[in-house]
Amino acid sequence: MTTTLRRTTGKNRAKELVLDLLDVAGIELDGPEPSDLRVHDERFYAQVVRDRELGLGETYQQGWWSAERVDELLVKVLEADLRTRIRPSRQYVAAAVRARLFNRQTIRRAASNASAHYDIGNDLYERMLDKRMIYSCGYWHGVDDLDSAQEAKLELICRKLHLEPGMHLLDIGCGWGGLAQYAAENHGVRVTGISPAIEQVKEAARRCAGLDVEIKQLDFRQVTGTYDRIVSVGMLEHVGRKNYRPFFDANRELLVDDGIMLHHTIGSNMTKDYTDPWFDKYIFPAGVVPSMEHLGRASRHDWVVEDVHNFGPDYDRTLMAWYDNVEAAWDDLASYGEHFRRTWRYYLLASAASFRVRGLQLWQVVFTKSLRRSPVYQAVR
């Protein structure tokens, strides 16, 4: 159903427009539902109308609005597709232009972008994540806690890769070493893990000490050698549109002919060259969530898609577990400041809302090389 928005003039126009949009989404101002909106500063209205997604996030950071359940408010905003009812902000248009003109994930920029998010403090991630510090979607099939969900995900990946003792696994974007450690301990493989984020590299090396694991501070474009298996978990979101094909080409050179490659990635229903301007500015600089079209273009001819597994709803549950962990541990994290707390809350809850309405997916995609004889791949769940 299309709703005609009231047209007003003068200083109240922005407020009237926002109130119309809230009505479309079934959100009340100062209403009784946990998803209803409380406005604490009247400047909220003009900034949201001017900056759309960026404005909504920044006004939350500034404390200009609140809701008992921010995630559910954002679910209603997304279900009503309210962003399409306001003209794109200048920042949104500028981000789209930059993404088309420039490679924002060169080797130098990729290291800086990674550091901006992953090097902000291991103490935050230690309290937010599971015991293995896995910063990606858990697999909640038959389990009820975050530690178990992440271990189930790691085992699922290892089984999909058909790991055997003595194989050499390349872990691109190895994070704090959780997958490398698990694969070496439980499947007897040798692992080379790479990340451009120095704090991740240090912690991963510490966690994997004594195992047949080597952790290096490298970009994927700097890796050499050959590997029996290649995996990336939460890495493709940082590769960038201009680098998808070079990424797959580099992997083809690194993987043995009868090898298996798995990429675990957030997936978008839409093919875009840029991301939400709020997330680009405050959370994942230059990050882009790939679509199936992106992956298809990057892998065509040279790769066989052996298996696609979507368990996007599990990311909603994972994000809410992370949110609960941060809130419970905030007394130990208070040095980050209240503005950071609101920023991080909004990041986790807005992300959960996107998965809840199925605007984002979580894909595990298994590839083998094309034009090669190889055993028939057996998919597992």
Q: What is the pLDDT of residues 18-63, one digit of tens each?
A: 999 999 999 999 999 999 999 999 999 999 999 999 999 999 999 9
Domain interval for residue 49:
10-87
Q: Are 184 and 211 in contact (CB under 8 A)?
A: yes
Any domain includes 93: no
Q: Chain-wide mean pLDDT for the chain?
A: 94
**How many other CB atoms are there within 10 angstroms of residue 167's CB atom?**
20
Same structural domain for residues 51 and 112? no
How far CA 274 is from CA of 5, 10, 36, in Å, comes to 29, 34, 30
Is it the case that residue 8 has pLDDT exceeding 90?
A: no
Predicted local confidence at residue 229, as pLDDT? 98
Any domain includes 376: no
Is it the case that residue 7 has pLDDT exceeding 60?
A: no
Tokens 């597994």 correspond to: 309
Same structural domain for residues 264 and 301? yes
pLDDT interval class at 94 (50, 70, 90): confident
| Mean pLDDT (whole number) for 299-320 | 97
- Helix axis angle for 338-356 and 43-61, nearest 10°, is 100
Closest by CA to 322, choosing from 352, 360, 366, 363, is 352
Any domain includes 96: no
- Residue that finishes a domain, picked among 62, 87, 112: 87
Predicted local confidence at residue 178, as pLDDT? 98
H or E segment to which residue 114 belongs: helix 107-118
Same structural domain for residues 53 and 154? no
Same structural domain for residues 80 and 108? no
Any domain includes 5: no
Q: Are 51 and 18 in contact (CB under 8 A)?
A: no
Same structural domain for residues 16 and 144? no
Report how far Cα 309 is from the mean position of its chain's Cα atoms: 17
- Residue that finishes a domain, picked among 87, 113, 134: 87
Same structural domain for residues 197 and 329? yes
Any domain includes 378: no
Predicted local confidence at residue 77, as pLDDT? 98
| One-letter identity of residue 363 | W
| Mean pLDDT (whole number) for 71-83 | 96
Summarize pLDDT for 325-336 with one digit per residue, the tens: 999 999 999 999
- Residue that finishes a domain, picked among 43, 58, 87: 87
Is it the case that residue 98 has pLDDT exceeding 80?
A: no
Predicted local confidence at residue 105, as pLDDT? 82
Report how far Cα 94 is from the mean position of its chain's Cα atoms: 22
Same structural domain for residues 35 and 153? no
Predicted local confidence at residue 2, as pLDDT? 41
Same structural domain for residues 271 and 140? yes
Summarize pLDDT for 170-187 with one digit per residue, the tens: 999 999 999 999 999 999
Predicted local confidence at residue 275, as pLDDT? 84
Same structural domain for residues 278 and 353? yes
Predicted local confidence at residue 11, as pLDDT? 56
**Number of domains making up the chain:** 2
Is it the case that residue 218 has pLDDT exceeding 90?
A: yes
Same structural domain for residues 69 and 217? no
Is it the case that residue 1 has pLDDT exceeding 70?
A: no
Any domain includes 2: no
Same structural domain for residues 73 and 141? no
Same structural domain for residues 60 and 118? no
**How many other CB atoms are there within 10 angstroms of residue 253's CB atom?**
10
Summarize pLDDT for 249-305 with one digit per residue, the tens: 999 999 999 999 999 999 999 998 888 899 999 999 989 999 999 999 999 999 999
| One-letter identity of residue 4 | T
Any domain includes 314: yes
Any domain includes 325: yes
pLDDT interval class at 205 (50, 70, 90): very high
Look up the CATH number of the domain holding residue 350: 3.40.50.150
Q: Are 368 and 90 in contact (CB under 8 A)?
A: no
Is it the case that residue 160 has pLDDT exceeding 80?
A: yes
